[in-house]
């Protein structure tokens, strides 16, 4: 959601306007296709020397705005959930077998 990215930029602008100096440098990047796995966006960027030179401590995705409090999962975000679910099922099966 681009509205969340704009909110981040506005927050950074307000902090600068109020004289806040962060302990570390803040880098803002906008890359394409984050909803579909970022094969042509962030995935390529993190392999590049320019990314390594930034000395990134952590990164935040723009996330998703939700007016109703519902968390929606999209393509690129399903894979980790599937792995967690599969591991949970395997763990439960092992517990059942062990007992």
Indicate the fold that domain 2-98 takes in CATH: Aminopeptidase (3.40.630)
pLDDT in tens, 30-40: 777 666 666 67
Residue 64: CB atoms within 10 A of its CB come to: 15
Q: What tokens appear for 75 in the block?
A: 């393509």
Query: Is residue 45 within 8 Å of 53, Cβ to Cβ?
Result: no
In the prediction, which pLDDT does 76 show?
59
In the prediction, which pLDDT does 14 show?
92
Who contacts 84 (Cβ-Cβ below 8 Å, separation ≥6)?
A: none
pLDDT in tens, 49-65: 988 888 887 777 666 66
Segments making up each domain of the chain, as ranges:
2-98
* pTM for the predicted model, two decimal places: 0.52
pLDDT in tens, 4-22: 778 888 888 999 999 998 8
């Amino acid at each position: 959601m681009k509205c969340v990215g704009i909110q981040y930029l506005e927050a950074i602008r307000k902090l600068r306007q109020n004289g806040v100096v962060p302990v570390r440098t803040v880098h803002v990047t906008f890359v394409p296709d984050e909803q579909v796995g970022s094969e042509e966006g962030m995935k390529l960027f993190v392999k590049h020397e320019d990314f390594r030179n930034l000395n990134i401590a952590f990164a935040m995705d723009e996330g998703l705005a939700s007016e109703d409090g519902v968390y929606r999962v999209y393509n690129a975000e399903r894979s980790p959930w599937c792995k967690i679910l599969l591991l949970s099922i395997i763990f439960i099966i092992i517990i059942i077998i062990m007992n």
